[in-house]
Amino acid sequence: MTDTNNQPAGEQLPRAEFERAWQAISSARTIFVLTHANPDADAIASNLALTDVLARRGHAVTPALAERVVPGSLQYIPGVQYLVPALDLDITGVDLLLIVDCADLGRLGPVYDQHPDWFDGTIPIVNVDHHVTNSRYGAINLVDSTAAATCEVISLLFQELGVEISPDVATCLLSGIYGDTLGLRTASTTSRTVRVTADLLDRGANLGLIVDSLFRMKPFSTLKLWAMVLERAEMLNGVVWTEITPEMLATSGATSAEGEGVINFLAGIKGAKIAILFYRQPEGWRVSLRSIAEDVDVARLARVYNGGGHSRAAGCRLEPGLETRDRFLLDIMARINALERAPVSLLDEGYS
């Protein structure tokens, strides 16, 4: 990225915070590890890295997934075959819920909608995350919003406490970092992220496999889908956007996960300040947001619509219908316009 200065690495979380989290985890016998719906590399990899380490230390640990299928590009992540659909789980006898890369409980998806009682605090929750919008829903919250990925937080946890990791776990952790930083290219990438990356390579992480799987090799259906999605792109008043519809998926034979990379391509369009990808789904729009201009904070914008994320990458949901989408677009354009006139009023929640 040419338009950004990388942020400095934040203050490392105090060692006591790592110790407190690790102690809570270590004292539990039966553990469920959960992550957010529409999982990305960081979500799945942080889950599987913790699962592997805890299983080897004798815990009864189940890695859970909000979906029934792992996206094709993530099926290379070591341990992926152990993932269990969260909706098939029985909570009986579970001592601890370890929730990773999940900014708030609603992001867990169907398992939270169907079993809100699992998350009422009766079973302690340890929350490990890096989203600036994290609602700190755990009994223990190991949250570092200066980390580029949850896998960076977990790498620091293992480093700090001297936990030995296998090459497979190193591949997991580097997958999460590479996934969230697009290969160390986002503004969230710090010197610490790069040092953690070097350490994971020393521990045997398979960089070639990660780069091929996440960024290079793709099914032909992805190419066909991207052609349709990019053809549909529009740009107006500082906003570049496009959509993925069920018809496009049917015609190309692609899954909706194959469209995930489109937004990062849109995020490099000169002259735009913000990129938006709308996924048309029966229950409404899923909206992916990327900040192109440094002064646009999409996490704050997403929060206006009950979404969340990071300052440069965030998301929210909208009710179904073209009017809803158009009203959203007009609102975004108005906010961008206001930003140009008065940079200090930066997309405040109070703005209307």
The footprint of Mn ion (CB under 5 A) covers 42, 101, 149-150, 180
DSSP 137: -
| Helix, strand, or coil (residue 61) | strand
The neighbouring-strand residues paired with 141 are: 127
When the beta carbons of 149 and 301 are compared against Mn ion, the nearer one is 149
| Helix, strand, or coil (residue 96) | strand
Distance CA 24, CA 158 (A): 15
What is the closest distance, in whole angstroms, from the C-beta atom of residue 339 to Mn ion in the complex? 26
When the beta carbons of 225 and 313 are compared against Mn ion, the nearer one is 313
Residue nearest Mn ion (C-beta atom): 42
CA distances from 196 to 74, 165, 189, 190 (A): 21, 13, 11, 10
What is the closest distance, in whole angstroms, from the C-beta atom of residue 152 to Mn ion in the complex? 9
When the beta carbons of 143 and 149 are compared against Mn ion, the nearer one is 149
When the beta carbons of 213 and 242 are compared against Mn ion, the nearer one is 213
Distance CA 232, CA 229 (A): 5
Answer for the pair 285, 260: CB distance below 8 angstroms, yes or no. no
When the beta carbons of 101 and 144 are compared against Mn ion, the nearer one is 101
The neighbouring-strand residues paired with 285 are: 280, 318
When the beta carbons of 177 and 228 are compared against Mn ion, the nearer one is 177
What is the closest distance, in whole angstroms, from the C-beta atom of residue 200 to Mn ion in the complex? 16
When the beta carbons of 42 and 243 are compared against Mn ion, the nearer one is 42
CA distances from 23 to 18, 19, 28, 32, 286 (A): 8, 6, 9, 16, 38
What is the closest distance, in whole angstroms, from the C-beta atom of residue 176 to Mn ion in the complex? 7
CA distances from 305 to 46, 240, 299, 323 (A): 27, 19, 10, 16
The neighbouring-strand residues paired with 342 are: none
56 burial type by CB count under 10 A (0-12 exposed, 13-18 middle, 19+ buried): middle
Q: How is 246-296 classified by DSSP, letter by letter?
A: HHHHHHHT--GGGGTTHHHHHTT-TT-SEEEEEEEETTEEEEEEEE-STT-
What is the closest distance, in whole angstroms, from the C-beta atom of residue 242 to Mn ion in the complex? 24
What is the closest distance, in whole angstroms, from the C-beta atom of residue 310 to Mn ion in the complex? 8
When the beta carbons of 144 and 180 are compared against Mn ion, the nearer one is 180
When the beta carbons of 200 and 225 are compared against Mn ion, the nearer one is 200
130 burial type by CB count under 10 A (0-12 exposed, 13-18 middle, 19+ buried): buried
Answer for the pair 303, 289: CB distance below 8 angstroms, yes or no. no
What is the closest distance, in whole angstroms, from the C-beta atom of residue 135 to Mn ion in the complex? 15
What is the closest distance, in whole angstroms, from the C-beta atom of residue 235 to Mn ion in the complex? 28
What is the closest distance, in whole angstroms, from the C-beta atom of residue 42 to Mn ion in the complex? 3
